[in-house]
């Protein structure tokens, strides 16, 4: 009887092992299938777009060692267009093509402080499209130079309130309509054999579209990164799942600044759906009202509350982050709190990371790292915190990494460590 029991036990144990092995194989298959589906969604079209996404998640050693937390940075500057906005550009363009709002030969217009425009100019040719960008003239000059080098048309305009008809975003929206009008006139003239500058026998009194759009223009599409929820979906379907997989779900917090709000909204929604215990935070630059909106439910800045509304509401040297309205993308964010960052903290952080980690980062990336330290200080040692390294310092040489410019603003870095954040 003992022998029979032993044999049964062995057989039963073997059966368990087979079941466990089978379950493991099925689990791995599903995991790989899921990864492939995410990758397939991102890389539709092949070519340069295959290089977008799946960026490394690295430990930022200096900040991790100083705080006692694992502070991880998602290296979005390694995307082919050099920033996190490559994901957004790809998602917007693919969805527009799929819906018929855009066709090959069409012109994608966008109002951008630089990075999104660079990404659209990078991705658009892969789909046979062109790019027209309206950019505020206080953005770093190298950004518009890069956009032009990529073959896009660039309009530099003065910064004004979003409520003004000549805000760079509003001009970009008009340019898309004008491109559609121009393409329609061209089609009609080809059918009727009439001058493209005449409608019903009369000269058009509108804008001279021929100086902006090529004769083979197939219409325009306004990317609308602030309100287009493809921005949110790029991070909900891409960046968020990547972070979850790269950390094996073992993270305690996520923090990032917001401009359009797509990054912080998409990632926070995905992570909190996977684990409601993951805390998600905003880091907000000077001049932006989002900190007050998140913490107090009221959109205003300290300067506005004191009756000192500035000409440029985003009174900060950081670019691409900070805003005084709630976009459709930001409205979807799931946030547990917010922190304020200063320009000097961002400058000091950029220099600290360059010196101690060899990370040459742009202004928004530096502000995100300020946020990561603030979260670490609030949560205490032993936590894993993820942030986004949006772009490198290469497109910030004329301002954020220019000592002469910083000196004029009283922002020359002086710290030898992290004392600018209250740490030794």
**pLDDT per residue as tens digits for the range 218-263:** 789 999 999 999 999 999 999 999 999 999 999 999 999 999 999 9
| 265-294 pLDDT, tens digit each | 999 999 999 999 999 999 999 999 999 999
> Among 116-130, 198-212, 353-367, 388-402, which is the least confidently predicted range?
198-212
CA angle 123, 391, 31 (to 5 degrees): 70
- Residue 249 tokens read as 């779900």
Contacts of 228 (CB under 8 A, 6+ apart): 92, 328, 329
Please state whether beta strands 57-59 and 253-256 pair in parallel, antiparallel, or not at all (unpaired).
Answer: unpaired
Contact present, 265 and 330 (Cβ < 8 Å): yes
Coil, strand or helix: which one is 198?
A: strand
What backbone phi and psi angles, to 5 degrees, belong to 391? -155, 170
- Read off φ and ψ for residue 198, nearest 5 degrees: -115, 140
User: What is the share, in percent, of the chain residues with pLDDT greater than 70?
Assistant: 80
Determine the pLDDT at residue 199: 29
**Which residue has 């979807």 as its token pair?**
332
Rg (alpha carbons) of the chain, rounded to whole number = 25
The mean pLDDT value for 137-160 works out to 90
β-bridge pairing 70-75 and 384-389: parallel
Who has greater pLDDT, 143 or 98?
98
How many CB atoms are closer than 10 A to CB 209? 19
Please compute the mean of the pLDDT values over residues 164-177 and round it to a whole number.
92
C-beta separation of 180 from 219 below 8 A: yes
Instruction: Return d(Cα 389, Cα 372) in angstroms, integer.
Output: 11
pLDDT in tens, 86-102: 999 999 999 999 999 99
- Residue 16, judged by CB atoms within 10 A of its CB (0-12, 13-18, 19+), counts as exposed
What is the H or E stretch that residue 108 is in? strand 107-111
Quote the percentage of the chain above a pLDDT of 90: 69
Lowest mean pLDDT among 38-52, 297-311, 368-382: 297-311
pLDDT at 394 over 50: yes
Mean pLDDT: which of 1-10, 69-78, 192-201 is highest? 69-78
Alpha carbon 236 to its chain's center? 12
pLDDT tens-digit readout, 351-366: 999 999 999 999 999 9
Whether the pLDDT of residue 12 is over 70: the answer is: no
Residue 42 pLDDT > 60: no
Q: Is pLDDT of 325 > 50? A: yes
């Amino acid at each position: 009887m003992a022998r029979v029991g032993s044999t049964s036990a062995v057989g039963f144990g073997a059966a368990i092992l087979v079941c466990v092995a089978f379950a493991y194989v099925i689990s791995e298959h599903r995991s790989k299938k899921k990864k492939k589906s995410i990758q397939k969604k991102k890389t539709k079209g092949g070519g340069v777009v295959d290089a977008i996404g799946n960026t490394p998640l690295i430990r930022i050693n200096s900040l991790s060692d100083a705080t006692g937390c694992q502070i991880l940075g998602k290296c979005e500057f390694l995307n082919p267009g050099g920033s996190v906005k490559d994901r957004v550009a790809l998602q917007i363009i693919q969805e527009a093509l799929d819906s018929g709002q855009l066709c090959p030969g069409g012109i994608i217009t966008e109002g951008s402080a630089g990075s999104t425009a660079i990404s659209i100019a990078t991705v658009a040719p892969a789909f046979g499209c062109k790019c027209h960008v309206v950019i505020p003239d206080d953005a770093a000059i190298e950004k518009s130079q890069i956009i032009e080098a990529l073959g896009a048309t660039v309009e530099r305009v003065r910064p004004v309130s979003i409520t003004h008809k000549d805000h760079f975003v509003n001009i970009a929206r008009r340019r898309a309509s004008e491109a559609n009008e121009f393409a329609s006139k061209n089609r009609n003239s080809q059918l009727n054999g009439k001058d493209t500058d005449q409608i019903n026998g009369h000269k058009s009194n509108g804008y001279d579209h021929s100086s902006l759009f090529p004769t083979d223009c197939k219409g325009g599409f306004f990317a609308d990164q602030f309100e287009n929820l493809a921005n949110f979906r790029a991070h909900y379907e891409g960046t968020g799942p990547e972070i979850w997989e790269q950390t094996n779900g073992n993270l305690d917090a996520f923090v990032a600044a917001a401009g359009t709000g797509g990054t912080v909204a998409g990632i926070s929604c995905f992570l909190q759906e996977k684990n409601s215990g993951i805390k998600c935070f905003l880091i907000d630059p000077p001049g932006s009202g989002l900190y007050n909106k998140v913490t107090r439910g009221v959109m205003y800045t300290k300067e506005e509350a004191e009756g000192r509304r500035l000409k440029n509401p985003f009174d900060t040297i950081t670019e691409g982050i900070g805003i005084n309205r709630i976009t459709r993308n930001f409205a979807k964010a799931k946030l547990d709190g917010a922190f304020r960052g200063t320009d000097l903290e961002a400058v000091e952080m950029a220099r600290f990371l360059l010196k101690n980690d060899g990370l040459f980062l742009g202004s928004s990336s530096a502000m995100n790292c300020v946020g990561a330290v603030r979260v670490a200080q609030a949560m205490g040692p032993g936590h894993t915190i993820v942030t986004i390294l949006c772009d490198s310092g290469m497109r910030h040489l004329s301002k954020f990494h220019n000592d002469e410019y910083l000196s004029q603003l009283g922002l020359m870095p002086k710290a030898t460590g992290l004392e600018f954040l209250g740490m030794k």
